Amino acid sequence: MRPVNLIEGGVSVLDRSDVDTDQIIPKQFLKRVERTGFGEFLFYDWAKQPGWDLPRNPILATGRNFGCGSSREHAPWALEDYGFEAVIAPSFADIFYSNCTKIGVLPVVLDEDEVRAVMASGRAAIDLGAQEVSWTGGRASFEIDQETRRRLTEGLDDIGVTLQQQEAIDRFEAERERSGPVTTGLA
């Protein structure tokens, strides 16, 4: 994953709440077995509706509970492939938020009025190190889990990080009487 530090540029606005991942990338595009090439299908059905305008910018500003519904990581893949490096919203669905951080798309939670100001400004800069968003006439800080921030700023491979704890996993498996069955050998 490439490191995430400063994201700066134009802001595209999608002023809707509860945008589900079925809208971000409809099901007919989930049949690919690759991670790439989803950008052209982003908001496939909505993009055909009159008045739709979503320029390719580094930043998307949108409404609350963005990314709800299906766990499909294809949604952040499509946003990234389209050009978005960060999404700013008043709140995100849990799985979507996590999926974004795994691929280096930065989800930023701001208050609703701050998101509105970013939308109105049309341009913004997000400094992950300082945990701050600035735009013409305003700035706001945002929260992010510190371990998640470290992985993003250093562009770390999650699995590599976890495998540094391999001994702890080995010990856990060996020492603890584990709950649950095995899946092998069931006819």
Partner 1 sequence: MRKSVFDKIWEAHEVADGILYVDLHLVHEVTSPQAFESLRLAGRTVRRPDRTLATADHNVPTDGSTAAEQIRDQLSRVQVETLERNCEEFDVPIHSIGSRRQGIVHVIGPEMGITQPGMTIVCGDSHTSTHGAFGALAFGIGTSEVEHVLATQTLQQRKPRSMLLRYHGELGHGVTAKDLILATIGQIGVDGGVGHVIEYAGPAIERLSMEGRMTVCNMTIEAGGRAGMIAPDDTTFEWVEGREAAPDPLPTADWRALRSDEGASFDKEVEVDASEISPQVTWGTTPGMVVGVTGAVPEPAGEGDERALEYMALEPGTPMAEIPLDRVFIGSCTNSRIGDLREAAELVKGRRVASSVDAMVVPGSQQVKAQAEAEGLDEVFRAAGFDWRSAGCSMCLGMNPDIAAPGERVASTSNRNFEGRQGRGARSHLVSPKMAAAAAIQGHFVDIREWE
Q: Torsions phi, psi of 7, nearest 5?
A: -120, 125
Both structure tokens of 57: 């910018």
Minimum CB distance to partner 1 smaller for 82 or for 92? 92
- Shortest Å, Cβ 106 to partner 1: 15
The residue ranges that bind partner 1 (CB under 8 A) are 16-18, 20, 22-23, 26-28, 30-35, 45, 64-65, 68-73, 76, 91-95, 98-99, 102-103, 145, 147, 158-159, 161-163, 165-166, 168-169, 172-173, 176, 178-184, 186-187
Select from 119, 121, 37 the least CA-distant residue to 81. 37
Minimum CB distance to partner 1 smaller for 6 or for 18? 18
- The three-state DSSP-derived secondary structure of 76-124 is HHHHHHHCCCEEEECCECHHHHHHHHHHCCEEEECCHHHHHHHHHHCEE
- Shortest Å, Cβ 41 to partner 1: 13
Distance of CA 80 to the CA centre of its chain: 9
- Shortest Å, Cβ 144 to partner 1: 11
Give the whole-angstrom CA distance, residue 121 versus residue 11. 8
Minimum CB distance to partner 1 smaller for 95 or for 125? 95
- Shortest Å, Cβ 72 to partner 1: 7
